[in-house]
Amino acid sequence: MNSFDHRLLLQSALQKLITNDYVLLDLPYYSNVGDVLIWEATLQLLKKVKHCCLYSCSVDTYRKPHIGQEVILLFSGGGNFGDLWEKHQPFRHRVMEDFPNNPIVQLPQSVWFEDEENLKKDIQYYKNHGANVTICTRDQQSYDIIQRNYSNVQPLLLPDLVLALDIDTVLRRNRLTKLMGEGTLYFKRDDKEFAGNNLDIHYDKEGDWPCMNYDIKWVRKYNDLMLRLERMNIPKRIQLKITDLYYRYIIKDAYLRNGIRFLMPYREVYATRLHAAILAWLLGKKVYMIDNTYHKCSGVYDLWMKDLENISLV
């Protein structure tokens, strides 16, 4: 499969799953460029769906919208389904409590629970939900966890959304061009999913997404704007609406530019992040992907990427 094949598969699946208007929830208003790439790919794919997005938000900007029971709760994809990243599963539970009878579609996720009690709690939430639930997973391990434990949920295997990203559209919109570059980048994630490696890598630069280590210009401008609005006693609901708009139309692309410019100067990339590897591959680099702690990278690679040229799992 290539990007076009992944795109067709995902478009077909979403057209079948999204049978009514929807709300898009758990958007990444933070500096992990990989999750922002998922957001961008999601928006591209949803343009082919005939139904409308009535509301979108992050965990922090969510306020219960006024919607009917027919509206689909569409949760963003990624690697945060479980208890490894603390905010996201409680947020899903909160939304399910607010809308106990609305259908749910979870976009492709990796699933991982470190605590058996958290898994049992999550199973109960989905068991009590009063409408259809589809959980899309992007690797076999995650699919098996859902299929084995969640009796009233429809599991579905689909590619990671970024594999369907039209990178040329992103580059044109941000006035960027592909460069082959020189040298080698060791893209080393700096968080609890880093599994280490014993590879003898000769590289010219090492680092994680740069914007994770400092506030980029547009985030600083946003923070200044929010301070001014607070001093002016602007109502919270208006501040949240401005945040949603600012992240979608300004900060999202700023994060994408930051990530692309970090990868662009290199010919080869050793990547410990799944989406750093996929983005580097989309940009035409020679890519070597290194697995994370709970094997989501190898799981996605084995199902959807092992036949791609210029990218391998090491």
Measure the CA–CA gap between 25 and 31, rounded to whole angstroms: 17
Taking the whole predicted model, whether its pTM rises above 0.75 is answered as yes
Is the Cβ–Cβ distance between 196 and 206 less than 8 Å? no
Going by the DSSP 8-state scheme, the letter that residue 241 receives in this structure is H
Would you write out the chain's pLDDT as a tens digit for each of its 314 residues? 777 789 999 999 999 999 999 999 999 999 999 999 999 999 999 999 999 999 999 999 999 999 999 999 999 999 999 998 889 999 999 999 999 999 999 999 999 999 999 999 999 999 999 999 999 999 999 999 999 999 989 999 999 999 999 999 999 999 999 988 899 999 999 888 888 877 888 999 999 999 999 999 999 999 999 999 999 999 999 999 999 999 999 999 999 999 999 999 999 999 999 999 999 999 999 999 999 998 999 999 999 999 999 999 99
Domains of the chain: 3-163 (3.40.50), 169-313 (no CATH)
Hey, what are 64's tokens? 């219960």
Q: What are phi and psi of 99, to 5 degrees?
A: -135, 75
